[in-house]
Amino acid sequence: MSNPKLKTQVSLCIMMFMQYLLLAVWWVPFIVYLTNAGISGNLKALVMSSMAIGFMASSIMGAFADRYFPAQKVLSLSNFIVAILLAYVGLAHDVLTTMICVFLIMLVYMPTWSLTGTIVLKHVQPEHFPRIRLFGTLGWVASGLFSLVFIKVFHVKVFDGGTIPFLCGSGVAFIASIANLTLPDTPPGGKKDKISIADLLGLKAFTLFRDRNFLIFTLCAFAAVLAYSLYYTFGAEFLQDRHFEYITITLNWGQAGELFFLFITTIVITRFGIKKAMIFGLAAMLARYLSFWWGSVSDTPAFYIVGILFHGVIFGLFFVTGQIYTDKKAPDSLRAQAQGLLAFLLWGVGLLAGNFICSNLISANKTIDSAGIAVYNWPVIFGATSGFSFIVLLLFIVFHKSE
C-alpha cells in the first residue's frame, strides 16, 4: 500500500474492528452463561458490573500512557493479557474462576476503548473519527457470525451461554495484540511528571458543573443510564427467556442500526440542534421499552425486534451527541478530562448502579413454578422502565435550556 495516509487509516480501522469484536463475542451472551450456571440476584449484577468497574480504571491507564508508554504498545499488552485470561476461563469450566477472571479482564480491557480513541485522534482529523469508529460497531455486529458458524457448521448445540465464546474471544484478542504492534507509533505526549489524584480522577472537570445546563444534562444522562442498563446488561437474559436461539445475532441488529445513526448524527445535530437531537435519543429509549412492554403483553416477538432496533437511535442521538455537547462545553484545557469524567459517571457509576437496580427489579418480578422453571413478569419490568424513561425525557425537556 503506497499511500502512507491510507495505510494508517486502514490499520486504525482494523484496530477498531478487532477491539470491539474480541469483547462482543463473549460478553453479549455472558449473562446467559451466568444464568445457566445458577448465578442470580445481586451476585449476577455485581459480575455484570465488571464492565462499569473497568471503565473506572480508564483514567488510570490513560494517565500512564500519556506520560510513559507508547499507546499502541499499551494496547498490545492489554490485549495479550486479555487473550491469556479468556483462554484460561474457556478451559477451566469453573464458575468461580470465571467470575474472578472476568473482573480482571474488564480492568485491563475497558480502558482500551478510550485508548483506541486516543490513537485514532493522534493520526487523523477529528471529523474523520466517526467513520473509523464505525468499524468498531462492525466488529460488534460481526461477532454474531461465531455463533452462526459453530451452530450451523460445527453443529454445536449450545454456543451462547457456554464456554466456547471465551475461547473465540481469546483467539481474537491474541491476533489483535499482534496486529496492534503494526499500528503507527503513538508516543506519550505528556510530561513525565508525577501523576496527581486530580489527574487520575478528572477532578478538575467538576468545575463544569457550575454551568446549570451541563449539570442538568449530566444528571439526566446519569438517570438515563439507569434505565438503559436493563437492555444493555440483561437483554440476553430476556431473549433467552423468550426462547430466541441466536441471542448474539438478534442483539446485534441494534448495532447494525447504530451504523446508520452514527452516520446521520451530525446531520441531525446540524438540522435540529444538540438539544433536540438528545431529545430524539431519549424518546427512542422510551419507545424501546414501550415496544418491549407491548411485545410481552401481546406475546408478539416482532415488537422485541423493534425495541432492539432503537438502540442505534439512543446511542447515536443521545450518548454520542452528549459527548459532542461535553466537548463544546469544556475549555480546551479540560476537554480530555471532561470526557473522562462523563465516562466515569455514566458508564462507571451509572452502569454499576443501574445493574443493581435492574437486577433487583427483575428478581422482584421473577417466580419459580412447580417445575422449578423461572417465570418472569416482563410487562411489569418493562412498564417500570418505560415510566422512568418518560420522566427522564420530561425533565430534560423542561429543565435543559436551548443554547
pLDDT (tens digit per residue) in 231-249: 988 888 899 889 887 787 7
Tens-place pLDDT, residues 336-385: 667 777 888 898 889 889 988 999 999 999 988 888 888 899 999 999 99
Residue reference for cell 443554547: 403
Helix ranges, 1-70 (H) = 4-27, 30-36, 41-48, 50-56, 58-67
What are the start-end ranges of the E strands in 221-358? none
Beta bridge partners of 376: 366
126 CB-near residues (< 8 Å, 6+ apart): none
State yes or no: pLDDT of 6 exceeds 80. yes
Which string of DSSP letters, residue by residue, matches 126-190?
A: GGGHHHHHHHHHHHHHHTHHHHHHHHHTS--S--TTSSHHHHHHHHHHHHHHHHHTTSPP----S
Rounded to 5 degrees, what angle do the CA atoms 143, 149, 152 make? Answer: 140
pLDDT at res. 191: 57
Fold of the 1-201 domain? Growth Hormone; Chain: A; (1.20.1250)
Same fold, 1-201 and 202-403: yes
The whole-number pLDDT of residue 320 equals 81
Query: Which CATH superfamily does the domain covering 202-403 fall into?
Result: MFS general substrate transporter like domains (1.20.1250.20)
In the chain, count of helices (H) and strands (E)? 21, 2
Give the single-character DSSP code of 193.
Answer: -
Span 103-147, pLDDT tens digits: 999 999 998 887 887 788 788 876 577 778 889 988 988 998 898
- Give the mean model confidence (pLDDT) for residues 17-22: 96
**What are the DSSP E strand ranges found in 213-284?**
none
Q: Where are the domains of the chain?
A: 1-201, 202-403
CB 10 within 8 A of CB 1: yes
Determine whether 381 is exposed, middle or buried from the number of CB atoms within 10 Å of its CB (0-12, 13-18, 19+): buried
Nearest alpha-carbon partner for 274 in 211, 317, 225: 317
- As a three-state string, the secondary structure of 27-43 is HCCHHHHHHHCCCCHHH
Q: What pTM does this model have?
A: 0.76
From residue 282, alpha-carbon distances to 149, 250, 326, 348 in Å are: 36, 22, 17, 20
At residue 49, the 3 state secondary structure works out as: coil
The C-alpha angle 146, 149, 151, rounded to 5 degrees, equals 105
Q: What is the pLDDT of residues 260-316, one digit of tens each?
A: 887 787 788 888 988 999 999 999 999 999 999 999 999 899 999 999 999 989 988
